[in-house]
Structure formats: C-alpha cells, structure tokens
Chain A
C-alpha cells in the first residue's frame, strides 16, 4: 500500500507520521506540499498534527482552504482513504470532509497526556485490527479537541456507526460531546481523530496500541 503525508507550514507531527507509516508498511510515504494540486496515486493520504498557520482564525481553517485540500477532496470522493490526526482532524472538519467542529477544550487548557480510547466501530478500514469495545492507550496533545455537532448531526453519526473512537469512561480530556475522539465520513473512507496513534507504535514509545490503526489502513494486518 502506498501512502502520502501532507505538509503545510506549522504542521510539526509530519516526521512522526512518516516514521510510523514507513515502519509499519515498509515503504516511505510520499510527501505532498500544500500548494500541490495533483496527488500521486496512493491508497492512504494522511494529514498529520501540528499548528498549521499558527491556528490563526480557527484551528485548521486556513489550511483547509489551501489548494492541496481540493485535491484531497477529489481523491476522497474516489474512495481513497484519508486520515487526519489532531490538527489534521481539525483541517478535515474545516474543509467539510467530516461533520461537526472542534472547539477550545472545555478546561481551556492544552492537554498533553495519555488517555484511553474505546474502539466503537471495528468494522472500518482503519480499525479492522482491533475488536469492538477494545480499550487502547493513546497519547493526546491539543488545545482545541472539544468535538461539537448539532443534535441532528450527532444523531446521524451515532446511528451510522461514524463514531469510530470514544474516550473511554473518565478519560475525556476536552469536553467532547458523547466522548467522541474519532469520526469518519458516511462513506467510511475519511477518518479524523484527536489522539496520536503514530506516537505509540513500538516498544521505544512504551507500547504499540496505535499500530493497529496503521496496519488496518495500510492493509498489513498479520493474519
């Protein structure tokens, strides 16, 4: 499976993401700069975390209007998998590729710690390596991860199985509605999540709970 990592000014988790994808798939991802309008043929496009455009206006708002996002939208419409982590998630909601919005953490504090995630939907292209209800460890590091959607949208995404990850009981770090940590589109090929699975993929990280997500998305699950 071939992958691509999007690079924008202010994103700072791109190297972590490149390392994770390389280690898990055995192939280095191609990198795509924000002004590119043509994305090479890949199976997975990843928008990593960071602080694109300094989080000016709203987190992810300016990045979401860059030319590369039009190309990503076109790819997503064709069924190519798109993963947005942290700022990447914020960019995907700002671009309208995912429902809802991400607001300032309810505590108003930047949270940087480990939380527990519940795998709510294990039948997605991103979570096949896990089982439904499995609790996995994951780091979080963000200031604006407070997931919001209006009542109707919330009902729709809950009903469609679009809520992929929830903060496990008692670990919601940001006030997200319904403890939502990760959401996918109705088509099931675009996933956004605040936690950083790329930072928990090998023993040196202190665990490898995040590995399953990339193994699923890159289709390198050991049978």
Chain B
C-alpha cells in the first residue's frame, strides 16, 4: 500500500478571496505580521500497489484530469 498526498494550490496571480478573508480574520484575532494567506486543498490517497513509479505516474494523471484545474491551480505529490 502506498500512501500519497496531493496538494493543490492556486497559481500565483490568481485572486484568492477566501485566502484574503482568512488573512483578515487572523489579523482580527491579533496575529500581526501576516504577509499573505493562500488557501489550497489536500488529498490523501491510499493506493493498492507497491509500484511507486507507476503510482506517481497515475497520480499525475489524476491531478491533470480531475484533482486540479490547471487553468488556475498547481499541484504537488508527496509520499508518506
């Protein structure tokens, strides 16, 4: 079993109103000095295989086809 984590983040230059709202709320809680907050998504996947290279290839395809919208988002893949 392979455990993988896919992290999807907004590309630079893409406006993130949710991140902005969180940034404002953190400021309201008294956390000073926050330059910027960007919100993203994390997917934890369990893959029934021992072939890590194949899993990585599949994960890339999953990101391209569904998990990320590559018009606005970047993705990264890591293994536990």
Contact = CB atoms under 8 A, between A and B. Distances in A.
Interface of A: 57-58, 61-62, 65, 93-94, 100-101, 103-108, 146, 148-150, 175
Nearest to A64: B66
Nearest to A149: B71
A148 B18 contact: no
A148 B72 contact: yes
A65 B15 contact: no
B71 A100 contact: yes
Which DSSP category, helix, strand, loop or mixed, fits chain A's interface? loop
B17 A65 contact: no
A38 B69 CA distance: 27
B37 to A, nearest CB: 14
B67 to A, nearest CB: 8
B72 A146 contact: no
A148 B14 contact: yes
Given A100-B71, A101-B72, A108 B66 contact: no
Contacts of A105: 17
A93 B71 CA distance: 10
Contact of A103 (B14, B65, B66): B14
A61 B66 contact: yes
Contact of A148 (B15, B21, B65): B15
A100 B14 CA distance: 12
